[in-house]
A = this chain, B = another copy of it.
Amino acid sequence: MLNVYLSGEIHTDWREQIINGAQGLDVTFNAPVTDHAASDDCGVAILGEEPNKYWHDHKGAMVNAIRTRKGIADADVVVVRFGEKYKQWNAAFDAGYAAALGKSLIVLHGPDHAHALKEVDAAALAVAQEPAQVVDILRYVLTSALPK
């Protein structure tokens, strides 16, 4: 059985593609909260309003870290997806965190980002461009079967 954490970009359906593609494999998936508004506001919604935007964000990021740390700590494999837009520093942070814990890291991004991600890719065991390739890796690792 593999425990896989799906970190990074939250604006496309890449997680669903991987989870659907991996049906029938002995994999457990975890991920951060992908509801953008909930993720941003969880801290103040639960622990009380903050007039200062910095502390508003801070409280939310801390609450989200409870889930993120657990997800990465439990994982055998951490997949980090970098999308086309935004800074996505939290994705790169998760990749560094996972690498330092010795997790098997799979990075998922398009060719345009290859140069900017070279240090992240250098810490990975696989660099994929498409979610289907991640599914192929999981299937191969678990069953020895290669894509036809």
Contact = CB atoms under 8 A, between A and B. Distances in A.
Interface string A8-35: 0000000000000000000000000111
A70 B27 CA distance: 13
Task: Specify how many copies of this chain sit in the oligomer.
Answer: 8
Given A92-B89, A99-B97, A140-B42, A57 B114 contact: yes
Chain A, interface SS category: helix
Nearest to A135: B46
Nearest to A61: B122
Interface in A71-102: 76-77, 82, 86-102
Interface string A115-148: 1111111111111110001001100110011110
Contacts of A104: 65-66, 69-70
14 contacts: A38-B146, A46-B146, A53-B115, A57-B114, A58-B118, A61-B122, A63-B125, A69-B104, A70-B76, A89-B91, A89-B117, A91-B92, A93-B93, A93-B119
Given A47-B126, A53-B115, 10 more contacts: A46-B146, A47-B128, A66-B77, A66-B125, A69-B102, A70-B76, A70-B104, A89-B89, A90-B92, A92-B92
